[in-house]
Amino acid sequence: MMTLILNLKLSVKLIKQSYIEVGLVLSLKKNALLSVYNKEGLIPFAEGLSRNDYRIISSGGTAALLEENEIPVMRTKDVTDFPEILGGRVKTLHPKIHGGILFELGKHEKDIEEHALPRIDLVCVDLYPFKKVVDGEHELRDAVEKIDIGGVALLRAAAKNHERVTVVSSIGQYERILDELRNEGEVSEDLRKELAVLAFEKTAGYDAVIYDYFQKRFMGDKFPTSYHLMGDKVQTLRYGENPNQDAALYRTEWTSESSVMKARKLHGKSLSYNNILDLDAALDMVKDFSEPTVAAVKHTNPSGIASSDDLTEAYKMAYECDPISIFGGIVAANRRIPMEMAEEMNEIFLEAVIAPGYEDEAVEILKNRKNIRIMDLDKWDPEPQGFVYLKVAEGLLVQDRNSKRLDMDDVEVVSEREPTEDELKAMEFSWKAVKHVKSNAIVFARPDHTVGIGAGQMSRVDSVRIAHMKARSPTEGCAMASDAFFPFRDAIDAAAEAGISTVIQPGGSIRDEEVIEAVNEHDMSMVFTGYRVFKH
């Protein structure tokens, strides 16, 4: 019995010694730990590492693929003396792996020797595609199983110890690393620092997506106590609102809604900061109309909006509302742009045009203008989704999109005279339009087009006067929409001078009775919507 015990102790000692020897061998060589979900480009990368004297450590499907392609690989279980467990949930979460990544030369030699830590010089991880899974049809279990634990820990550990370790967090980094190894024999300090930043970017974004998913699913808070806004850089812009301001464009949401972010440029210069703002505003306008509609925009305000069964006619009416301001502006349509409309637009200088498609001849005509940006939307989904963000100093304002739409059956007639059918149609059109005008906002309109627009004034009566002044066609019989209530009757009196016959407004002023009295004196009709449409 004593002999058996002694033999068992000797066997354990020999096994322990063999793993110490494995660790010592690994500590003397360059080692690369590879653990990737997306295996595209993995084989050439691993071959390149092997040619540059890296021993490869791996596990699971990554190791199996390397072995199939006859690339020498050491399994993590042979490094750790611990098998993969829990169906693969735990593979690399082990002190030898993380110790091998995190140790510092000249500081941790005692631990390296005592625990036979492998020297891991490169860590390559591609995380489980959590976002891809939750963006499609899935069960909660699918989402849970695609939360990467070990991969995130490996990336963070390697990025933390970037002074010694190269961290690889995306397929697009493979070739740069191999180039440096071929040309310099090692990965430079500058590249290691850059890759560390990109790894932290990857894990931060990954965690933000997981937090957002579970917060919405389990808590349901529209505005949670902690707000994480992540974005992917689309491009660096030439400059911001002015040439002295640097700027860039980021994509922060992925929905089905038609947006500037999804538009494909068919022709023209790169989009500027101001172009993007104006295109976004113009698209918002035409999305509110189910009829074929065109909006002309300057500095995020409409210079004209019109609807017609014939899109070219809609453009002509939008143009006629303010043929001066449209110069150098943006045009948006919610239908495919025909050749005839392109010919009309080609008569003036426009910065950009955006629509869900163009006739081939229309594109060729518009290309005659060298610098116009022709933006094409492959699909049309007008439903607003997501939030509106506005940055202020040291803060972020977040609000719902203004998706409320008016039902004319819900308005309250407050005047003595009932509005006519034609007036009701003009009211409805003007209310859709005024929602997109900066406050204080006033719109004069017919049933299918704007006639005069007063935007962004400090007093509402001045907006009425400007709408009248800018009108290029008679305003008699037009509807007038106001984005908020009238604080005094003076705006009604000014509207009467312009020949306005009907008014649509939210109501709610302490002087509503005074305003209603003015409307009755001028034999106008007026309705209250019960809600305002400020655009600040």
Q: Give 209-273 as a 3 state SS string.
A: HHHHHHHHHHHCCCCCCCCCCCCEEEEEECCCCCCCCCEEEEECCCCCCCCHHHCEEEECCCCCH
In the residue annotation, 299 being an active-site residue is answered as: yes
Six-digit token string for 346: 């080609």
Alpha carbon 103 to its chain centroid, in Å, reads 39
- Cβ proximity of 285 and 307 under 8 Å: no
Measured CA to CA, the distance from residue 95 to residue 97 in angstroms comes to 5
Measured CA to CA, the distance from residue 260 to residue 392 in angstroms comes to 23
Partners of 395 in the β-ladder: 392
Choosing from 94, 299, 367, 425, the catalytic residue is 299
Reference 446, options 437, 433, 456; nearest CA is 433
DSSP 438: P
Choosing from 30, 115, 160, 269, the catalytic residue is 160
Partners of 457 in the β-ladder: none
Contacts by residues 223-231 (CB-CB < 8 Å, ≥ 24 positions apart): 223/398, 227/396, 227/398, 229/389, 229/396, 230/204, 230/205
State the maximum Cα–Cα separation within the chain, in Å, rounded to a whole number: 117
Contacts by residues 342-348 (CB-CB < 8 Å, ≥ 24 positions apart): 342/366, 344/312, 344/315, 344/316, 344/319, 345/315, 348/319
Overall residue count recorded for the chain in this entry: 536
Measured CA to CA, the distance from residue 253 to residue 536 in angstroms comes to 23
Position 87: which residue type? G
Catalytically active residues are: 160, 299
